[in-house]
Structure 1
Amino acid sequence: MISSYMEVDAASPKPTSAAPEPTPKAPEPPKDEYAHLPENQKLAKKAKILGNDAYKKKDFENALKYYNEAIEHDATDITFYNNMAAVYFEQKDFEKCISTCETGIEIGRENRADFKLIAKSLSRIGNAYRKMENWKMAKTYFEKSMSEHRTPEVKTILSEIDKKIKEEELKAYIDPVKAEEEKELGNDFFKKGQFSTAIKHYTEAIKRNPEDPKLYSNRAACYTKLAEFDLGLKDCEKCTTLDDKFIKGWIRKGKILQGLQQASKALNAYQKAIEIDPNNAEALEGYRACTMAVHSNPQETWQKAMTDPEVQQILKDPAMRMILNQMQSDPKAVQEHLKNPEVAGRIQKLLEAGIIQIH
């Protein structure tokens, strides 16, 4: 038979004798991690800890007081200057932040500080210049930091700063007066049939005034002459994005799409032009030409169109049937109906599907 004491937790056996309990040891006092340091460095480290505590509480005045105290005890430690610079940064005193970091770097190099600490100081200077929106100086110091110690964070910041510098350079280059001069030169070369040279001048005009839709439209005309349809289309899209009421942009886009044999898309461009000016002959002619191009095989087109649920829904709408009947009896009515964007969209869908034609 198994004895019952085996069921008791073996980790807690009862004493077999009446021996007295051992006296518990008193807890050891915490070790002084700075005990090995000279007295001045020990006092400096303790002052820094008090400064860090104050910094975390955003008690910046006391943080500065303790960091200064640390420097008084030991002026050779770069971390004290770096921490002090962090306070100035929080107080938005960026000039003091920079000068304190520079002092720290100089002292750090003299005392062979860890290159990571030097990099940290350089990054802090970069961040101060960044806050001041002095992008070129910020870039310089972040690059210096990377030369000491590469980190993904600084690499990302440098990429952002490069974008900012490019934006600033483009802004500084903007000059509408010079843009107009370049546009006129482009126009002169366009009239002479020198389209490549005209493109150079229109491109320079765009750099000088990138918000002017006419410049993109003019350059698109050059690209069209050179059969560079993709580039021309890109300029038309930019042009109509800048000003969706600029009718020349929509008409030019329609013509390029016709050149690319994309009649359905060209219809959309001409429709936009007609919405702006229902009587524009160029837009109406392009619209008719594209409509005819869409419908090469009427029977096949009709059968295919009737499988489209959207087409079926439009044809079931009594109001649309009335409009279609009116357009059939009075061809001029189409211009009136195209003024209504909702109706124009439905007519456009039927045109693209080949259900109706406009002559």
Structure 2
Amino acid sequence: MSPSARPTSVAELKQAGNDCYKRGQYGQAAVYYSEAIKKLEASGKSGREQLSILYSNRAAAFIKDGQCSECIKDCTVALEMVPYEVKPLMRRATAYESLERYSMAYVDYKTALQVDNGVQAAHDGTNRMTKALMEQYGPGWREKLPKIPSVPLSAQKNWQSPSPVNVSADENKKASELQKDSKRLQSTGATPEAKAHAKALKEEGNAFVKQGDFKKAVEKYTASLQLDSSECTTYTNRALCYLSLKQYRAVVEDCKEALRLDPKNVKGLYRRAQALKELKVT
């Protein structure tokens, strides 16, 4: 195919999508993958594995473009066609994590590890989600999890026994650290009335995030921080919105403030890393 020729076959459209993705043209990559999906589905051929790959590829383009909900939809379709594939599991987990749906992200990371225990990103994701869920629910966080599917032996590609760890001791240590952080953050100069109003504004911002209205969420979080600038999670929540709005420098600044308040904050570290990657800062 010459450089100027328009791709027409499924294979050509897929390759064109791959090329755009490598150049950082994620929107155009999604367009090519969509054309390939439409053409393959219209052909009437089974091609479930090929379709699964195309949906998974489009999901990768969507998440790079900040369309986390669309990424989740495509990964779910890909996994319905070919269950227990690591790539769509990891991409969906990342999208869930970006949307702060930590329980769902945890399930996907753990499922990916059942398939291939050598995926370091899945180990890292599981660790992040464990801390985030402990922050959210406390020591009983496991009771809040959806059921983790049991991956059949036929789908397991690589599994090695992990190094033994004292999970109970590790979780107790994290819980102790979280309690200390909570007490430290409670000692602020804001009046009880201001803190209560700030919390209400923050919750309004959270509601807008769930609706996908990130601009209005930013407004609520900003108003909340004007009343109480010591609330670490408000900074990380606003950073999430800025990520979706592709305002990466604002993400870095909010994460900087969050990490000043809590140097070990997982969300602040992770979102800052995402923003720096987009800014191509090493």
TM-score normalized by the length of structure 2? 0.44
Greater Cα radius of gyration, structure 1 or 2: 1
